[in-house]
Chains A and B, each alone.
Chain A
């Protein structure tokens, strides 16, 4: 499939949206830069190296760590559910909800649940799942998918939010952000108190202790995993790290890379359900470990590096393409540079073949990646796999390569090419659709050189 050009054109032409994307990502980007600068975090480069090494190591021994995780979760009174597909994950939650007679479910932010369209699947069984992260809540009301991995409603203005609240909640139009937050808080408080199940994601899973680690800024994840009687955490299998002590490396990097925060406002480390004598916490705890394409990616030596991702979103904020086209023009829930490399692996490389080519290969993403994923390198590898599908393009490059090995022919062809630059055809027209083309010089360097030597 080719790129959604009309939708992209619409995004590019929307001046308010452009400003919102560019300014918000710019703020994150600048905050990140300051937070990892040598005066703030002198060990930043060492931490990145260490984080990448831990991830690579864990992925190399994923089978071992997952089983260790499972037994640690069980030791602490929880249960692990292995889900090969999104459907299996949803089926488990539906069955659990029916058994516990929980028709209302609260959810904290989880890209993994977005990935498998969990809310739609639950709604299909007449289960109401309410998003409790403010951004996600707004999007749920608006019927949109996240625009950004960590800041899902980054594209919306306070006016947009006021419109949505008025339409969906029937309240008066109010553009004061604090009031909007209070409205959400009031609505959501009741949901927390009456929900039978709380679903969270997980930023990290600790194999040695069976703990689920959740970082957030609003406190909603904390309520989600502690207020309802049942806590279900859903996470991709790549989220496991070996030891609790490894967490120190990642917590130093995640908040800083995402938003420039040394630490997010809340960090929950949850180990199993409430134990005897404890006052808080759920009565039951389930960890749904999702494959849904991850083992396939792990088996792909060219692309598996992308499983190192900790979903900080730094690459989105750094990406000049994301900062123009925004999150909704990418075909899947994961947008930006990381979306560009994982979407083909998860959704099928034959689909959306344009995606790996929609990059200037500037490398800004790799520069900010806290776990050192070589995103441009992965894009190049994807391109290498995809070009076989384009015979006309291939022939053109074959001719090109033939010429480039024959200097005389190259010089001649280039001279002819220069004389054609005034025409408005093919790539020349595409170039001129956006900018001017310089007039071709009368003589090439090699011609000038020859004259000079005479």
Chain B
């Protein structure tokens, strides 16, 4: 018995990864920033550093005060209705913004990769989301989209290692972008750790609901960081850095954590 096979294949969502960095030919004049709730409340210096870097490039930075959170905590916990309400608030807040820059891979990915899921059954909202998401950039992604960026005037005379945060790496495809930016920093030495791509164990509410597992994951990451002999661990997500900082400090280690923006804003 034989059969002919007409392959009926429906591609699954998110099957093709958008090119992580698309270089623009025009220099924007003005950007809106979404500082994320974690940066706003716990790591304001990372937010200020991002503003500093953007302004030094001659950009006018706009902070819309109605902004709060991207809705990820509710979305990842399974509360779709609550997440949808907060996502709607985000879309309203950034209405009309040409370019939105976010100092977090995770929050960026929530907006660019998951908002569409939230509004799959609401064509009107979905159209607004689809119009918004191409204008949302993670910070390093945005910098590298600028035409002819070759220097940021940064100097950071230290040995650092870089932590790939999961959503930046796997959902946004940002492996080289942050490293290219670090490569532009004067006197900076980047030493790769073996477990660079392994999760730090944060995972939002996972970090407290499964604290033991989360802590064990962080310690594995810390071991890998320590093996490099770096004085600083750098990432583009403050949530990962909070986890790593907590574990480093609990282990009595002197390694410091810094957001990528803080390194790029540094003049040594």
Distance of A351 from chain B, by nearest CB (Å)? 17
The reply to whether A404 and B69 contact each other, CB–CB distance below 8 Å, is yes
Complex interface: chain B residues within 8 A of A12 (CB): 212-213, 216
Closest chain A residue to B246 by CB distance? A435
Measured CB to CB, the closest approach of chain B to A117, in angstroms, equals 28
Cα of A60 to Cα of B9 in the assembled complex, Å: 10
* Contact present for B247 and A434 (CB under 8 Å): yes
Q: Which of B27-56 contact A (CB under 8 A)?
A: 35, 37, 39-45, 47-48, 51
A438 to B214, CA, bound (A): 17
- For window 420-450 of chain A, which residues contact chain B by CB distance below 8 Å? 427, 430-431, 433-438, 440-441, 443-449
- Check: B171 CB closer than 8 A to any chain A CB: yes
A433 / chain B contacts, CB cutoff of 8 Å: 211-212, 215
A-B residue pair count with CB separations less than 8 angstroms: 213
Nearest A residue to B216, CB-CB: A324
B42 close to A440 (CB less than 8 A): yes
Contacts of B255 in A (CB 8 A): none
- Report A's interface with B, CB cutoff 8 A: 3, 5, 8-9, 12, 22, 49, 52-53, 56-57, 60, 64, 68, 71-72, 75, 207-208, 242-243, 305, 320-321, 324-325, 357-364, 366-367, 372, 374, 377, 380, 382-387, 393-394, 397-398, 400-401, 403-405, 407, 410, 414, 417-418, 427, 430-431, 433-438, 440-441, 443-449
Q: A residues within 8 A CB of B122? A: none
Whether A438 and B245, one on each chain, are in contact in the complex, defined by CB atoms closer than 8 angstroms, is yes
Residues on A with beta carbons closer than 8 Å to the beta carbon of B65: 407, 446
Interchain CB contact under 8 A, A357 and B206? yes
**How far in angstroms is the closest Cβ of chain B from A36?**
15
Flag if A435 contacts B218 (CB, 8 Å): yes
Query: With A and B bound together, what is the CA distance between A285 and B73 in angstroms?
Result: 54
A8-B79 CB under 8 A given contacts A68-B1, A431-B246, A438-B245? no
Q: How many Å from the CB of A111 to the closest CB on chain B?
A: 24
Q: Which single residue of chain A is at the shortest CB-CB distance from B245?
A: A438
CB < 8 Å: which of A3, A242, A436 contacts B250?
A: A436
Q: In the bound complex, do residue A404 and residue B217 qualify as a contact, i.e. CB atoms below 8 Å apart?
A: no
Known contacts A8-B212, A397-B77; is-contact A363 B166 (Cβ 8 Å): yes
Give CA–CA (A449, B250) in the complex, Å.
Answer: 32
Q: Which residues of B contact A360 (CB under 8 A)?
A: 166, 199, 201-204, 206-207, 214, 217
Closest chain B residue to A398 by CB distance?
B82
Given contacts A208-B1, A431-B246, 9 further A-B contacts (CB under 8 A): A360-B206, A364-B198, A367-B170, A380-B75, A383-B78, A401-B85, A401-B86, A405-B89, A449-B63
Tell me if B249 counts as interface (CB < 8 A to partner A): yes
Contact residues in A for B41 (Cβ distance below 8 Å): 414, 417-418, 440-441, 444-445
- Contact present for A363 and B211 (CB under 8 Å): no
- Complex contact B47–A243 (CB within 8 A): no
Chain B contacts of A56 at CB under 8 A?
9-10, 12
**B26 CB contacts on chain A under 8 angstroms:** none
Given contacts A57-B5, A448-B48, contact A374 B170 (CB under 8 A): no
Please pick, from A324, A394, A445, the residue contacting B48 in the complex, using a CB distance under 8 A: A445
Given A360-B206, A431-B246, are A441 and B43 also a contact pair (CB < 8 Å)?
yes
Report whether A384 and B78 are in contact in the complex, using a CB–CB cutoff of 8 Å: yes
24 inter-chain pairs at a CB distance below 8 angstroms, sorted by A residue, are A12-B212, A22-B220, A56-B9, A64-B3, A208-B1, A320-B199, A324-B220, A357-B77, A357-B209, A357-B210, A360-B166, A360-B217, A361-B204, A363-B166, A372-B15, A386-B78, A387-B79, A431-B207, A435-B246, A435-B250, A436-B245, A438-B245, A440-B41, A441-B43
